[in-house]
Chains A and B, each alone.
Chain A
Amino acid sequence: MDEPADVRDVLARLLFARDSAHARSSGPLTDDFWTLLRSAAISERVVPALARGVADGRLVASRQQAEDAESLWLEVMRRCLRLEGRLLWLVDHLADRGIEIRVLKGPASAHLDHLRPEDRQFGDLDVLVRGNDMPAVFEVLARDGFRRRFPEPRPGFDRRFTKSVSFAGDVEVDVHRTIAEGPIGHRIPVVDLWCRSAPFEVGRVEVHALDHTERFVHACLHTVLAPPPVRLSSLSDVMRGLVGGHADPGRVVELSRRWGVAAVVDRAITAAVTEIWWPLELDGRWRSATPVGLVQSMMIESHRRNETSSAARAVLSLATLPTLRDRIAYAAALAAPASPYVDARHAGRAARFRHAYRQLVDVVRSVGGDGRGG
């Protein structure tokens, strides 16, 4: 996702600074720059911002470039519509079984946080279900031809510990039990995700997303707990939360402290206002000024480093699982998983342990050597 800084800067300004002179191109776009801009918009998942920038004249584009932008926008929106069609299908089938879901990320952000759904593209479907409902949801998907990408470590692991399970079919569907992986994720009481919801309509069918506070914190987690550089589309979701007026800063700070993720939320807000746009007025209550401890730094870095595997995060998870019983069950499942789980990821059990040990040492060294890991 490496592109020239000015290309990313142009796209970032198109996302928010609609009335600002800074968002306007100084003259017609050259073909070479258009090629870079187009490629970056696709990889950063901000094609709608590019298309609107051309349509409203903030980018001075040739006729061919304008047609290209329209064509790209139509293509990504078609994909969004197919995903929403699948969402309606899933909601309908699960309602027959009395199963509730919460729509996460893309579709929820498009309908609830952005000015128009057309402004936010998304490439897959993420839904939150209760752990005990996961087997029934998996069955519904499997019956329609969806295939699980990776097997469960041991029977029952998904409903107690897993963050999400990915299914491949005509679209990709990620079925979540919670909203973050590993040591950070295990700190979040799953019951909190079901206390409230924010409804929205897809084709006149009411569906539910996380409530505004939880959804904003999720956007922050998604932004920070991923190897950098973060996509502009993810930063845009955080910005929408800051300026949209739906999420209350006091409630966000209270929730993020209770979940032990205040440092993550701080980091996400800093990234968003630094890389996209610093609002003229930003409520000071958004910043919790929470000091970051060494263990917290290690946990965050275990997510952000490309070289760190899920095995290393799993080891760190033992520190944050809520009960001793959970830790024992979790450790047992990952120490001696079923063969299909191991075979899908490593050359063998010994290779798996060596891999996890190396990753864990790497994380400890990186945080210890850098101070607080950045």
Chain B
Amino acid sequence: MANPDEMFEVVRGRPWRDLGDRIVVFDHSSGVETVISGAGTLVWRVIAPRRRVVDVTNDLTTIVEGDGSRLSEALGFIDRLIEQGLISRG
């Protein structure tokens, strides 16, 4: 999963664990477990709770390093994270 909209829903109010090659999220109310792997783990670590904008930006720069075409998309993603209240400016 690397869809930001899906990510927003999954991260909201649910406990999770980062096992390196995969992220595991559990929703107790539904009993549904979500496993995020591959490129999705990179997106997840960007939006992990309590990250500051500067940390997120540094991580994103690292992630998209060498492929500048994705940077504008990533920065737009940051703006949406701030609007959603998932991250805050440092």
Contact = CB atoms under 8 A, between A and B. Distances in A.
Contact of A203 (B13, B24, B33): B13
B20 A81 contact: no
A82 B26 contact: yes
Contacts of A205: 13
A248 interface: no
A45 B14 CA distance: 24
A70 B24 CA distance: 13
A118 B15 contact: no
A343 to B, nearest CB: 35
Interface string A67-90: 000100110011011101110110
A205 B28 CA distance: 13
Interface residues of A, number: 22
Nearest to B33: A78
B49 interface: yes
Contacts of B13: 88, 203-205
B14 A118 contact: no
Interface in A221-247: none
B89 interface: no
Tell me which of B13, B14, B21, B27 has the highest count of chain A C-beta atoms within 10 A of its own C-beta.
Answer: B14
A85 B28 contact: yes
A349 B2 CA distance: 64
Nearest to A107: B15
Contact of B15 (A73, A74, A85): A85
A141 interface: no
Given A89-B28, A204-B12, A204-B49, A81 B17 contact: yes
A172 to B, nearest CB: 16
Contact of A77 (B12, B21, B24, B29): B24
Contacts of B14: 85, 203
Contacts of A116: 18
A74 B19 contact: yes
Given A70-B21, A203-B14, 10 more contacts: A74-B24, A77-B19, A78-B24, A81-B26, A85-B26, A85-B28, A89-B29, A117-B17, A118-B19, A203-B15
18 contacts: A55-B20, A70-B21, A73-B19, A74-B19, A74-B22, A77-B19, A81-B17, A81-B24, A84-B26, A85-B15, A85-B26, A86-B28, A89-B29, A118-B17, A201-B50, A202-B15, A203-B14, A204-B49
Interface of B: 11-22, 24-29, 33, 49-50
